[in-house]
Amino acid sequence: MSEELRGKVQELIDTMINPAIAGHGGFVDLVDVQDNRVYLQMGGGCQGCGAADVTLKSGIERLIKDELPEVTEVLDTTDHASGTNPYYTPGKG
């Protein structure tokens, strides 16, 4: 089951998610699928980006859940502190 789900998630990442976030120099890698939970790692412009949370939770997770309702949660395993080229760098307005 997990392998089948993993394949479907990977396909979504390849066909829909990564082509979109590539516009900001970003990408996500599928780390694992366990108990219908999807573990992702963000890289490039997404790693450390001030908008990474929005993109993951309101974007990527929503897309995956819309297409694959059996997914219960999408979790970020990224070490954002190690990002060296985030697309947006946070600061106080």
# residues near other proteins by CB under 8 A: 31
Q: Among 5, 30, 31, 63, which residue sits at the site for other proteins (rule: CB under 8 A)? A: 63
Residue 44 engages other proteins in binding (rule: CB under 8 A):
no
Q: Which residues of 33-63 are buried (b: 16+ CB within 10 A; e: fewer)?
A: beeeebbbbbbbbbbbbebbeebbeebbbeb
Residue 85 engages other proteins in binding (rule: CB under 8 A):
yes
- Cβ-contact 40, 31 below 8 angstroms: yes
Whichever of 33 and 86 has its CB closer to other proteins, that residue is 86
37 CB-side CA count, 13 A: 7
Residue 72 in 3-state DSSP?
coil
Residue 71 engages other proteins in binding (rule: CB under 8 A):
no
Which residues lie near other proteins (CB under 8 A)? 16-17, 20-21, 23-24, 26, 48, 50-51, 53-55, 57-60, 62-63, 81-86, 88-93
